[in-house]
Amino acid sequence: MGNGRTLGVGLIGLGVVGTGVVQLIQKNREDFKKFRGVDLDLRRVAVRDPGKPREVDLPTGAFTTAEALVEDPDVDIVVEVMGGVDAATDLCCRALKSGKDLVTANKAMMAERGDEVFSAAAAGGASVGFEASVCGGIPILQALRDGLVANQVESLYGILNGTTNYILTRMTDEGGSFDEMLQEAQDAGYAEADPAMDIDGTDAAQKLSLLCRIAFRRRLDPEHISKEGIEGISPVDIDFARELGYTIKLLGIARPLGDSIEARVHPALVPLDSQLANIKHEFNAVEVVGSAAGPQVFTGRGAGRLPTASAIVADLVDVAQRRLAGRGESADLARLPEAAPASPDSVKISAYCRFTVFDTPGVLAQIACIFADHNIGIAKVIQHGRSESEGDTVTLIMTTHEARESDMKRAVHVIGQLPVVQHEPKVIRIEEL
Ligand SMILES: NC(=O)c1ccc[n+]([C@@H]2O[C@H](COP(=O)([O-])OP(=O)(O)OC[C@H]3O[C@@H](n4cnc5c(N)ncnc54)[C@H](OP(=O)(O)O)[C@@H]3O)[C@@H](O)[C@H]2O)c1
């Protein structure tokens, strides 16, 4: 370990995030020594191709392989920013079991294999920092764990994915279809070449499961989080939402419901004057309602080199201080009870429904009757005159009062079977926030 306050850092991955980590360690090392009592000495760096030109200067002889790095006695803390799940889990668990601490930005690994990682940490008496894996630069896990320690979290609403927020913001502010705005997001570097896991809600569900672990002290497998992406959102929904006083966001929502946790990711109408409605482009935000502190909103950049590196280096300093104080922290995270997902019968929602119907008398009454039969009250109805492009059909918008989600699904299914209804009805939940 060198002198008493110096800790050896090993970095696996020197891409977008890893380069930022090196930059921030090099820039702040003296301040950390002076004000935090820790000296972070970057000793080893593992990459796939050591011959590639790099943007940062590294100590001579720093390059090594990931396998050698996790065995290296000069490394006290491993920073994993290589990505992927299986190889990363294997390397991280080996490091932890041998007593090295871990800091990672790898949400996929932590969401899918977090139990193994925390068990390895418990076995090695080591700590795991994974702030950067949820909402990049926003210190949300620290806020939940430390700042809100005297609270029970009553609910949590998050815009957890920057790519989808960027697409929805552009669709809202400038018009344009989902496909056009996805292409623009890719051209601007906000969406990956394969954006499937962002668009279909998988990325947000992984982050939500990690938030649940800290907020509710329970494990919730991302597979148990119901998810729906934004690919079905059309400009017409955005226009009608605005007319009703809402905008559309992809939300991750979690709240305890008895012994279970209601957790879901889906597009939702949120009031135009709510704080989340005004989180735009690639920004992320999490609104937490604490039992003592009430509602609080945390917002900032959810990805990118320096925002993500900022969270990693904050974890590094924290983990280093714990190590120097002789305290590991992750053992309890390995033993959290599993939360049961809430059943659709216990979840209540209100909804925006768009129907394409033949413009004949009595249609509205038929639909209203089916809603009534399923104990669903109608809040508002919008029907504009027929447009040329609609031919014999018109668009009918209905919003509902709160009702059981299972009733809503059944009612919409029955309505979709009516001969007067063309196309599959579109349902988007409303969250009043
Ligand atoms: N980018 C973001 O804004 C962001 C935000 C939050 C979280 N994250 C997470 O951070 C992690 C890294 O993302 P990134 O964008 O920095 O990725 P990246 O730019 O693709 O960099 C990956 C790095 O890992 C190295 N690497 C890959 N396989 C390796 C192996 N087997 N052994 C040693 N090194 C290996 C690569 O080496 P070469 O350079 O030689 O190819 C590269 O330096 C991912 O888990 C990602 O989900 C990223």
Q: Beta strand 294-301 with 283-290: parallel, antiparallel or unpaired?
A: antiparallel
pLDDT over 50 (residue 360): yes
- In terms of pLDDT, which residue wins out, 329 or 360? 360
Mean predicted lDDT score pLDDT of the chain: 94
Confidence at residue 386, expressed as pLDDT on a 0 to 100 scale: 74
311 lines ligand 1 (CB under 6 A): no
**Interval 132-145: pLDDT, tens:** 999 999 999 999 99
Burial class (CB in 10 A: 0-12, 13-18, 19+), 31: exposed
Q: What is the mean pLDDT of residues 105-122?
A: 95
Q: Smallest Cα–Cα separation from 398: which of 413, 382, 385, 414?
A: 382
Nearest CA to ligand 1 atom 4: 303
What is the three-state SS of 127-168? CEECHHHCCCCCCHHHHHHHHCCCCCEEEEEEECCHHHHHHH
Q: What amino acid occupies position 254?
A: A
Q: Beta strand 128-129 with 101-104: parallel, antiparallel or unpaired?
A: parallel
Per-residue pLDDT band for 80 (boundaries 50, 70, 90) equals very high
Q: Smallest Cα–Cα separation from 397: which of 285, 234, 205?
A: 234
Confidence at residue 380, expressed as pLDDT on a 0 to 100 scale: 97
79 and 356 in contact (C-beta within 8 Å)? no
Residues 6 or more apart whose CB falls under 8 angstroms from that of 28 comprise 313
Task: For residue 391, report the distance from its CA to the centre of ligand 1, in Å.
Answer: 52
Tokens of 129: 């920092």
Task: For residue 105, report the distance from its CA to the centre of ligand 1, in Å.
Answer: 9
Confidence at residue 1, expressed as pLDDT on a 0 to 100 scale: 42
Among all chains, which residue has been given the structure tokens 């396998």? Answer: 67
pLDDT over 70 (residue 55): yes
Among all chains, which residue has been given the structure tokens 């000069």? Answer: 74
- In terms of pLDDT, which residue wins out, 332 or 261? 261
Query: With left for phi above 0 and alpha for psi between -120 and 50, is residue 169 left, alpha or beta?
Result: alpha
Confidence at residue 4, expressed as pLDDT on a 0 to 100 scale: 66
pLDDT over 70 (residue 331): no
330 lines ligand 1 (CB under 6 A): no
Confidence at residue 343, expressed as pLDDT on a 0 to 100 scale: 85
Q: What is the mean pLDDT of residues 80-85?
A: 97
Point out the residues that are catalytic.
Answer: 207
Give the C-alpha separation, 368 to 382, whole Å: 13
Confidence at residue 192, expressed as pLDDT on a 0 to 100 scale: 82
334 and 119 in contact (C-beta within 8 Å)? yes
Instruction: Look at 58-67, 97-106, 254-263, 328-337 and tell me which has the smallest mean pLDDT.
Output: 328-337
pLDDT over 90 (residue 424): yes
139 and 238 in contact (C-beta within 8 Å)? no
In ligand 1, the atom with minimum distance to the C-alpha of 18 is 16
Nearest CA to ligand 1 atom 34: 47
Confidence at residue 42, expressed as pLDDT on a 0 to 100 scale: 98
Pocket probe for ligand 1: among 45, 78, 82, 198, the residue whose CB has the most ligand atoms within 8 Å is 82
Per-residue pLDDT band for 330 (boundaries 50, 70, 90) equals low
Pocket probe for ligand 1: among 308, 310, 313, the residue whose CB has the most ligand atoms within 8 Å is 308
Nearest CA to ligand 1 atom 18: 15
Give the C-alpha separation, 262 to 343, whole Å: 8
231 and 178 in contact (C-beta within 8 Å)? yes
Among all chains, which residue has been given the structure tokens 């210190």? Answer: 139
In ligand 1, the atom with minimum distance to the C-alpha of 47 is 34
Burial class (CB in 10 A: 0-12, 13-18, 19+), 271: middle
Task: For residue 149, report the distance from its CA to the centre of ligand 1, in Å.
Answer: 32
Per-residue pLDDT band for 334 (boundaries 50, 70, 90) equals confident
Give the C-alpha separation, 90 to 116, whole Å: 9
304 lines ligand 1 (CB under 6 A): yes
**Residues, the chain:** 433
210 and 225 in contact (C-beta within 8 Å)? no
Confidence at residue 163, expressed as pLDDT on a 0 to 100 scale: 95
Per-residue pLDDT band for 3 (boundaries 50, 70, 90) equals low
Task: For residue 80, report the distance from its CA to the centre of ligand 1, in Å.
Answer: 8
Task: Indicate whether this model's pTM tops 0.85.
Answer: yes
Tokens of 233: 């959102």
**Interval 339-354: pLDDT, tens:** 988 887 889 999 999 9
**Interval 139-195: pLDDT, tens:** 999 999 999 999 999 999 999 999 999 999 999 999 999 999 999 989 988 888 899
Q: Beta strand 340-341 with 283-290: parallel, antiparallel or unpaired?
A: unpaired
CA dihedral 286, 290, 296, 299 (to 10 degrees): -20
**Interval 193-240: pLDDT, tens:** 899 999 999 999 999 999 999 999 999 999 999 999 999 999 999 999
Pocket probe for ligand 1: among 47, 56, 161, the residue whose CB has the most ligand atoms within 8 Å is 47
82 lines ligand 1 (CB under 6 A): yes
Collapsing DSSP states into helix, strand and coil, what is residue 423?
strand
